[in-house]
A and B are shown apart, each in its own frame.
Chain A
Amino acid sequence: MSDPLRVSRRKFVQQGAGSTAAMLAAPFALAAPSAARAARPAASDRVVVGLIGPGDFGRRQHLKKLLLPNPRVRVAAVADVDQLHREQAALDVQARTGQKISIYKDFRDLLDRPDIDAVVIAVPDHWHALAAIAALEAGKDVYCEKPLSLTIEQGRAMVAAARRYGRVFQTGSQQRSDTHYFRQAHELVRSGAIGRLTKVAVHIGGGPAGVWQRPQTPPPSLDWNFWLGPAPYVDYTPNRCHYLFRWFADYSGGSITDHGAHQNDIAQWIIGADDSGPTKVEGTGTFHENGPSDVPARFHVEFTYGRHGNVPLIFTSDPSPRGGNLEIYGTDGWLSVSRRRILAEHPEVLTADPLPHDYQARLTDSYVRHYANWLDCIQSRERPVCDVEIGHRSATICHLAGIALRLRRPLNWDPTAEEFIDDAPANRLLNRPMRGPWHL
């Protein structure tokens, strides 16, 4: 006779976390995985994962460093519009596990599989919303790479879908799971170690101009029309496709949304605006004079957080005075933070650093913890450290910057209604038409 109180993780997940109360989910599980959870679970209790987009980053980071070595996960399938990507990924899985997995060109076929619990989405930005919403509606938990969305409207639709289906959604902003620099900066600000917060400055570089190429026939392995999906049709050139897509406005926002999504995520966290945002934005910038990249090359954007003590956030491509990606100013001192180190005007406020000073090791550690947090939450049905709402709000900062740089005028933003105030033309930039048959 079966024991009704003993429910396997698989059954627990398939039943939608057992209770609706859990689905409605208390925010924020702890970032650190417990030792027991980190141990190798029974095969039947591993989270069965599908990887959508095992190309560049999807393969070398998600598949090879995070999924395949993870004892809590079994990779069951991959989907990619490039045959070379999906076949290579399948070979990677076979080499590591000895298992042959299914490969799909169309991610919707992967999502039809009831045995897959969760998906990792590492496709180009213009596909994030469509892939993630389809996954959520198929009952999968989701880990989606940053920047969460291509437009603010897409991000809001992703949040709505996650809540509608009660799914766990981790945004791939792994700096949230960094155990020392970023978390320490956040805790120092929260504890008042630098006094009252007076300003946050995010410094990232610009993006490359790229090189011009003549349109050409796509390689036989690539379904170019599918790769474009909802984006406007253009003839194929390699420099718009894998990895390089991020320098083209049809698919991404350039460094503003690429690296900017990471650092603005921490800025929002430090300001305390995870479920909110700024009230004003204004910026100036330049674009690459001769292309082909058509996203901002250099920029300086200023936000005001009117609902958070009027704290200004500066977002710029200029180098910072101390080399950090985040310069945090308080009435009693400053902090300078990056993935490589943390500095303080008064060094005595800093705690001892338990981790080795190895950049790659630190980066990998934060990814591993971010994944562990996601997997913990799949089990507990709590919201992860970078829940979809947080990811959406962080991406919104980046999108607001992009809109302000194009319009070159001060904009008033209502973070509750998520629209510009008294500016219909600006509000038209909150979404973009999608090429059929794709739609939100």
Chain B
Amino acid sequence: MTTISELVMQLASDDQVQAFHARRTLDQQIYQASDPRKMGQLSALADELAAELVAAADPSTVKPPMTNVPDDVSAAFTPKHSAKVRRVLCQLLAPIATDTQVPALATALVDLEVRETVRGVLGQIPTLVSTQALLRAVSQVGPEFRVGVLNSLGLERWREAMATLMRMAADPDLEIRLAALEGLANFPEVDNDKHFVAATQLASPRYRARAFKARIRFAETLRRSGEPENAAVIYQSIASAMPVGPWTIAARIGLEKSKAQAG
């Protein structure tokens, strides 16, 4: 029987059909092991894949260390597998990774070639351990990557994630700020409304529009979380705010739903 390590090597094959077969076999093993009655098998499989993700290249083939790059980059290891294979490993891990694989994923999160895909995997793990790994990535270089991290944090339910999003909602980079707000919109914490209100005063029409839309989502989160009165106050505020936009209609709709819900 072909081992996981051998299958991962075959993912890099120049023979596209062989690489396809390897991916298919790995997919099948994952899905068969994902039966809730076989979780032990799944965990072992995930461990092996995570180990391959961060496996270091043979030292005799490693190039001299990079210079004049940020510390977190220079500290990165030289991986055994190509970026293409490492991205596939992340895709394989996305539906099965758990806390056990977070240390390996956190290591790969400083790997510039695949960190965006790793971020996606961590976002799929619904635990505080994975969230904490994402929190550490917020300060990495690269605004696009940071936006992605904030997107993932916005799907979490931990107060630690919310606290970071609140902090980033004041970031001078407007893309970062709006991404943080869009994430905050998923947290039913009425005190956060001040961040949305501030962003709706932005000079840029496009960012202002995004802020209004995020505030609409925020109000809906409150309403769906059993706070229709708080939601109604926000909807009322949006409905009477300038400029008028699609959010004005959404606010009127939300207001009616909130009133109906509050009875």
Contact surface of A with B, Cβ cutoff 8 Å: 16, 20, 23-24, 112, 137-139, 160, 163-166, 212, 232-235, 287, 290-292, 294, 406-409, 422-426, 428-429, 432-437, 439
- Which 6 pairs from chain A and chain B are nearest by CB? A436-B148, A433-B120, A139-B246, A16-B249, A425-B34, A291-B20
Q: Nearest Cβ in chain B — how far from A16, in angstroms?
A: 4
Contact B256 A24 (CB under 8 A): yes
Contact B250 A166 (CB under 8 A): yes
Contact A433 B36 (CB under 8 A): no
Give chain A residues whose Cβ lies under 8 Å from the Cβ of B36: 422-425
Which residue of B24, B42, B120, B182 contacts A287 across the interface (Cβ within 8 Å)?
B24
Which residue of A164, A212, A406 contacts B31 across the interface (Cβ within 8 Å)?
A406
Give chain B residues whose Cβ lies under 8 Å from the Cβ of A164: 216-217, 220, 250, 253-254
A-B contact pairs, 5 of them (CB 8 A): A294-B24, A406-B31, A407-B31, A407-B34, A437-B179
In addition to A20-B252, A212-B17, A433-B123, 13 A-B residue pairs with Cβ atoms within 8 Å of each other are: A16-B248, A166-B250, A232-B87, A233-B117, A235-B84, A290-B21, A291-B16, A294-B20, A407-B35, A425-B34, A428-B124, A436-B145, A437-B175
**A163 nearest in chain B by CB position:** B253
Which residue of B17, B120, B182, B206 contacts A112 across the interface (Cβ within 8 Å)?
B206
By secondary structure, the A interface counts as loop
Give chain A residues whose Cβ lies under 8 Å from the Cβ of B175: 437
Contact B121 A433 (CB under 8 A): yes
State whether A290 and B250 are in contact (beta carbons under 8 Å apart), knowing that A406-B27, A425-B34 are contacts in the complex. Answer: no
Contact A408 B147 (CB under 8 A): no
CA distance in complex: A435, B87 (Å): 12
Give chain B residues whose Cβ lies under 8 Å from the Cβ of A294: 20, 23-24
B111 close to chain A: CB less than 8 A: no
B160 close to chain A: CB less than 8 A: no
Instruction: Give chain B interface residues in 93-118, CB to chain A under 8 Å.
Output: 94-96, 116-117
Give chain B residues whose Cβ lies under 8 Å from the Cβ of A435: 116-117, 120, 148
**B114 nearest in chain A by CB position:** A233
Contact B94 A432 (CB under 8 A): yes
B91 close to chain A: CB less than 8 A: yes
Give chain B residues whose Cβ lies under 8 Å from the Cβ of A291: 16-17, 20, 24
Give chain B residues whose Cβ lies under 8 Å from the Cβ of A24: 253, 256
Contact B20 A408 (CB under 8 A): no
**A439 nearest in chain B by CB position:** B151
CA distance in complex: A422, B206 (Å): 43
CA distance in complex: A378, B206 (Å): 26
Using an 8 Å CB-CB cutoff, how does the interface string of B21-47 with A read, 1 for contact, 0 for none? 101100100011011100000100000
**A237 nearest in chain B by CB position:** B16
Contact A137 B246 (CB under 8 A): yes
Contact A436 B116 (CB under 8 A): yes
Using an 8 Å CB-CB cutoff, how does the interface string of B186-223 with A read, 1 for contact, 0 for none? 00000000000000000000100000010011001000
Contact B20 A290 (CB under 8 A): yes
B154 close to chain A: CB less than 8 A: yes
CA distance in complex: A339, B260 (Å): 44
Give chain B residues whose Cβ lies under 8 Å from the Cβ of A166: 249-250, 253
Give chain A residues whose Cβ lies under 8 Å from the Cβ of B21: 290
Give chain A residues whose Cβ lies under 8 Å from the Cβ of B144: 436-437
B177 close to chain A: CB less than 8 A: no
Which residue of B16, B91, B124, B147 contacts A436 across the interface (Cβ within 8 Å)?
B147
Contact B249 A165 (CB under 8 A): yes
Q: Nearest Cβ in chain B — how far from A402, in angstroms?
A: 11
Contact A436 B151 (CB under 8 A): yes
Contact A433 B252 (CB under 8 A): no
Q: Nearest Cβ in chain A — how far from B164, in angstroms?
A: 16
**A212 nearest in chain B by CB position:** B16
Which residue of A233, A407, A424 contacts B87 across the interface (Cβ within 8 Å)?
A233
Contact A437 B151 (CB under 8 A): yes
Q: Nearest Cβ in chain A — how far from B153, in angstroms?
A: 11
Q: Nearest Cβ in chain A — how far from B144, in angstroms?
A: 6
**A15 nearest in chain B by CB position:** B249
Instruction: Give chain B interface residues in 214-263, CB to chain A under 8 Å.
Output: 216-217, 220, 245-246, 248-250, 252-254, 256
Contact B253 A20 (CB under 8 A): yes
**B154 nearest in chain A by CB position:** A439
Give chain A residues whose Cβ lies under 8 Å from the Cβ of B151: 434, 436-437, 439
Instruction: Give chain B interface residues in 104-156, CB to chain A under 8 Å.
Output: 116-117, 119-121, 123-124, 144-145, 147-148, 151, 154
CA distance in complex: A315, B32 (Å): 22
Contact A425 B256 (CB under 8 A): no
CA distance in complex: A130, B215 (Å): 18
CA distance in complex: A434, B84 (Å): 17
CA distance in complex: A202, B252 (Å): 42
State whether A433 and B124 are in contact (beta carbons under 8 Å apart), knowing that A164-B250, A166-B249, A428-B95 are contacts in the complex. Answer: yes
CA distance in complex: A376, B117 (Å): 44
CA distance in complex: A232, B87 (Å): 8
Give chain A residues whose Cβ lies under 8 Å from the Cβ of B179: 437
